[in-house]
Chain A
Amino acid sequence: MGEYVLLILGTALVNNVVLVKFLGLCPFMGVSSKVDSALGMGLATTFVLTLAAVAGWLLERFVLGPLDIGFLRILTFILVIAAVVQFTEMAVRKLSPALHQVLGIFLPLITTNCAVLGVALLNVQEDHGFLQSVLYGLGSALGFTLVMLLFAGLRERLALARVPAAFAGTPIAFVAAGLLSLAFMGFAGLA
């Protein structure tokens, strides 16, 4: 039990996908200007990441391993991720047209989010069991969502602050992201 909690904490905070592994920076910078859209994006990515990590593990265990076609790993993982993202987009469009409108192109872009593929591949690399894979994917996704929310909150505040003209908009956002990454270094050694 303790090791599972530690696994979730480790993937969410210590080895955070965005701020420590530096994966998935595109939606991180692109959708984080408002807290609502950041939350929606985070939840969509959580769904995709968890499913992709699990599907990847199942693929590796029952198809790629036994048939010794490990060289097809990236190809098949991308295939699965694309299908899951398609499904997620259909679901979001049905359940919340407003969110679908707000996220726009970033929803299908989750396919190219290297955090999703990266977590799926790392999952296989670290030779986890089934439950560990689920928690690995879930933990990484929760870490992603957490960081998206934090950054969105920061950016909403920054939009109202007195920022020098040369830094206004994207530059100060990148500086804030760097500082947030530095802050997350404080978790090193926790797990």
Chain B
Amino acid sequence: MIAAIFSLTTLGLTLGWLLGVAARYLKVEGNPLAEQVTELLPGSQCGQCGYPGCAPAAEAIASRAASVTICPPGGRALAEQLAGLLGVPVDLSGVVDKAPVIAHIHENLCVGCTKCFKRCPTDAIMGANNMIHSVFADACTGCELCFEVCPTECIEMRTVTPTLQTWYWPEPSVLPA
């Protein structure tokens, strides 16, 4: 048994060390600015900015293809931080601080058309053709894609009430001087 423990441990450590060395030599130069922007973005991959995720949005912001105000969940704080990072002037008057929202389907209005079901990027809507649809709240990222297509307008975007499990310290709203 000692032999087994010893050999597996040694093997794991050796392979890990070799991979670490290889990673140093085979490092691909990423875009450091895009990586910094990615760290500032919320990371919920909601898609409200129009890009398929926070990493592509960070690339766009870093290459100045997108404005620093494109992220709705980030709000004013994020726009200010990004403007400071990139050194660009930003007009914060148009940025609205929206609370995180979750979609909710009013079941008495749902006709089961599956339009929202097909659009949801996180598969948070359950239901089938002619069956009443419902939203899995913990899978919903609040991207509002379903909200836009519902023909009976039965989807309501409700603000999330923080519970003891979901509350966390908000990031500092001002960059440290």
| A residues lining the B interface (CB < 8 Å) | 59, 63-64, 67-69, 71-72, 75-76, 79-80, 83, 86-87, 90-91, 93-94, 97
Contact = CB atoms under 8 A, between A and B. Distances in A.
Contacts of A86: 19
B177 interface: no
Contact of B23 (A59, A68, A76, A90): A90
Interface in B64-121: none
Contact of A93 (B3, B11, B16, B28): B28
A83 B4 contact: no
Nearest to A97: B28
Contacts of B4: 67, 69, 71-72
Contacts of B8: 72, 75-76, 79
Given A90-B22, A93-B28, A68 B3 contact: yes
Given A79-B12, A90-B23, A91-B26, A63 B7 contact: yes
B28 A94 contact: yes
Interface of B: 3-4, 7-8, 11-12, 15-16, 18-19, 22-23, 26-28
A115 to B, nearest CB: 21
A79 B15 contact: yes
30 contacts: A59-B11, A63-B7, A63-B11, A67-B3, A67-B7, A68-B3, A69-B3, A69-B4, A69-B7, A71-B4, A72-B4, A75-B8, A76-B7, A76-B11, A79-B8, A79-B12, A80-B11, A80-B15, A83-B16, A83-B18, A83-B19, A86-B19, A87-B18, A87-B22, A90-B23, A91-B26, A93-B26, A93-B28, A94-B26, A94-B27
A131 to B, nearest CB: 24
A83 B11 CA distance: 11
Contacts of A59: 11
A90 B23 CA distance: 7
Nearest to A93: B28
A69 B7 CA distance: 9
A10 to B, nearest CB: 31
B51 to A, nearest CB: 17
Contacts of B12: 79
Contact of B15 (A71, A83, A97): A83
Given A67-B7, A72-B7, 9 more contacts: A59-B11, A69-B3, A75-B8, A76-B11, A79-B8, A83-B19, A90-B22, A91-B26, A94-B28
